[in-house]
Structure 1
């Protein structure tokens, strides 16, 4: 198997930034002659030709931090971690225990974290554990939208939900929430309750939610307490938002004893970090009881990606995409990030058209 393709271009189209100021959307520019990632790629990585990519809050939150991005991300850099594409090159040599995909194989997956060669570009460099073959019949846009959010929801739900379980998801209409509803149902949850705006009730119900709580007109904590009193405590609570904080501090009133309260949402401001640290420390101070707080760190897993891809192929899960933006249109990804930063996106935003 050839490790690299000498016919690959030396440059590519990529949306890049040097300093995310005043914010990432404002800093992005289209570079039509950006250098490709290394070819052949380093050990443990593929060079991937991107067809579609999708964006997540971490893609702008990390670059917009005041100091850390300057230390960990080489500039100019492209944002984005999620992709669907095809293998363009493999390492010159791999361990005998590593099974590499062949050049030309359609694939999808995600990078470990924001990096110099992000997925808002025609080519990216992805780790082996973040790349799996694209199942036949699954659209590239759908697969790209499943990477980070689908994997996050999978790792929230699957290890903790058994058939017949009751699940509450705070933030049901966002990227992770849309996957969480479907994955909970796919593994046998009896009832899924979500908090979202009233305007998104229909979307969440179409994905399998049994009940919806309007966070704009109801006190979410009181609503969940009432549901637990009427029908029994929940087997899992997932918080994709991070607010209200009382959802965690009052969870002993609606969450089964000894199980984890799982959070992934939240900002990177000092107040947000302080609130998170307080939640993490609370069980140690007071003995925990019913409340075991877990801030989930998502990790790439080929097996998890393969199950998500299988559910897409079988129709057990579907991608929810609010907007598709062409990579080459004027302001394409800039528009996508501006939309994402409003916090009101239903499902995902996809950037496509990178390659034919």
Structure 2
């Protein structure tokens, strides 16, 4: 089968599309999926660059969207439409990446979807939507009406966090973003938006703190976020290259009144994906796709994603 293989860390040129990579051999409880689409996540190009100590050679990617080709799990049969996040995204996992014609998934990682779900772009959904869901409830599920701040509300994780906070948790949502994304974030359901080029959210909301803050950005944004966290609130940090454990320890040492710091490194979860896919099939949540590439264009796809400030996701079509 075709697969994108990384044999050594380096620039995009190390991404090699081969035609003879062995298809996964299923074990009990696993499902073989013929990939329709996948996507590029920051962890993918960070692994390629050597930022994480990955075992190589490695087929990158954990986002799955396609049709069951074979199954050793009674819950799934050939022809089922499915999505999943597998541990293929993780640097320590070498078995089944999703930058390939076929990938394998454990049954508990899979979610069935109907024909209303767009498999051709659905590969953009699993990692970012699960990250958003898990971050939002990392300190306990927000209560209806809770004040939630989403940093980077038009990005991959951010645009799902914004929508899920509104649709699933019934929260009052404030989202930050650039000037070109203010209207978009409002369309996605934000009650208020902040243009970070014109306003300082920490000053604007110093007297209106938040019950939950989801931050996939870090750095200065992280430190400012601490200042607008309500008593009993959760600052939900998304693991990324700016993650600094020292920041967390210093913050927790100063905090009082039950404030919490959580660190989200996404975990596969088919049950949560079924909930998210259901909202998408009902038209209540949507995936933003900035650009689509083919598997043959994987180098260009990663270069595009690496430039940053992506609106939604960069999707890679495999067998569309």
Q: TM-score, normalised by structure 1?
A: 0.82
Q: Which residue of 2 aligns with 1:238?
A: 214
Q: Secondary structure at the match of 1:80?
A: coil
Alignment of 1:310-329 (within 5 A): 310-328=278-296
Q: Which residue of 1 aligns with 2:98?
A: 119
Aligned-partner Cα distance in 2 for 1:287–1:134: 43
Q: Secondary structure at the match of 1:145?
A: coil
> For structure 1, which runs of at least 5 residues remain unmatched after alignment?
1-11
Work out whether residues 196 and 213 of structure 1, in 8 Å CA contact, stay in contact via their aligned partners in 2. yes
Work out whether residues 320 and 346 of structure 1, in 8 Å CA contact, stay in contact via their aligned partners in 2. yes
Q: Mark the structure with the bigger radius of gyration.
A: 1
Work out whether residues 167 and 189 of structure 1, in 8 Å CA contact, stay in contact via their aligned partners in 2. no
Which of residues 298, 313, 317 in structure 2 aligns to 1:333? Answer: 298
Deviation at 1:318, TM superposition (A): 0.9
Q: Which residue of 1 aligns with 2:35?
A: 50
Q: 1:66 to 1:312 in 2, by over 3 A?
A: closer
Alignment of 1:155-170 (within 5 A): 155-158=134-137, 159-170=140-151
Q: Secondary structure at the match of 2:273?
A: helix
> For structure 2, which runs of at least 5 residues remain unmatched after alignment?
none
Q: Secondary structure at the match of 1:59?
A: helix
Deviation at 1:249, TM superposition (A): 3.8
Q: Which residue of 1 aligns with 2:75?
A: 100
Q: Which residue of 2 aligns with 1:150?
A: 129
Aligned-partner Cα distance in 2 for 1:36–1:322: 30
Q: 1:134 to 1:143 in 2, by over 3 A?
A: same
Work out whether residues 231 and 256 of structure 2, in 8 Å CA contact, stay in contact via their aligned partners in 1. no
Deviation at 1:133, TM superposition (A): 1.0
Alignment of 1:64-79 (within 5 A): 64-65=49-50, 68-69=53-54, 73-75=55-57, 77-79=58-60
Which of residues 162, 183, 195 in structure 2 aligns to 1:181? Answer: 162
Work out whether residues 13 and 299 of structure 2, in 8 Å CA contact, stay in contact via their aligned partners in 1. yes
Aligned-partner Cα distance in 1 for 2:123–2:245: 32
Q: Secondary structure at the match of 2:35?
A: strand
Which of residues 256, 262, 276 in structure 2 aligns to 1:294? Answer: 262
Aligned-partner Cα distance in 2 for 1:301–1:100: 15
Work out whether residues 9 and 49 of structure 2, in 8 Å CA contact, stay in contact via their aligned partners in 1. yes
Work out whether residues 145 and 348 of structure 1, in 8 Å CA contact, stay in contact via their aligned partners in 2. yes
Q: Which residue of 2 aligns with 1:279?
A: 247
Deviation at 1:19, TM superposition (A): 0.9
Deviation at 1:79, TM superposition (A): 1.2
Aligned-partner Cα distance in 1 for 2:239–2:290: 20
Deviation at 1:202, TM superposition (A): 1.8
Q: Does 1:346 align with 2:314?
A: no
**Most deviating of 110-119 and 43-52:** 110-119
Q: Secondary structure at the match of 1:213?
A: strand
Q: Which residue of 2 aligns with 1:83?
A: 64
Work out whether residues 20 and 26 of structure 1, in 8 Å CA contact, stay in contact via their aligned partners in 2. no
Say which structure is richer in strand: 2
Deviation at 1:242, TM superposition (A): 0.8
Q: 1:125 to 1:172 in 2, by over 3 A?
A: same
Q: C-alpha root-mean-square deviation of aligned residues, in Å? A: 2.0
Q: 1:203 to 1:108 in 2, by over 3 A?
A: same
Alignment of 1:189-200 (within 5 A): 189-200=170-181
Q: TM-score, normalised by structure 2?
A: 0.90
Deviation at 1:58, TM superposition (A): 1.1
Q: 1:88 to 1:186 in 2, by over 3 A?
A: same
Aligned-partner Cα distance in 2 for 1:139–1:259: 36
Higher relative contact order (CA 8 A, sep 6+): 2
Aligned-partner Cα distance in 2 for 1:213–1:67: 33
Deviation sequence 1:38-91 (CA, Å, 0-9, x none): 2xx12332221101111211112234336721xxx341x221110211122223
Q: Secondary structure at the match of 1:34?
A: coil
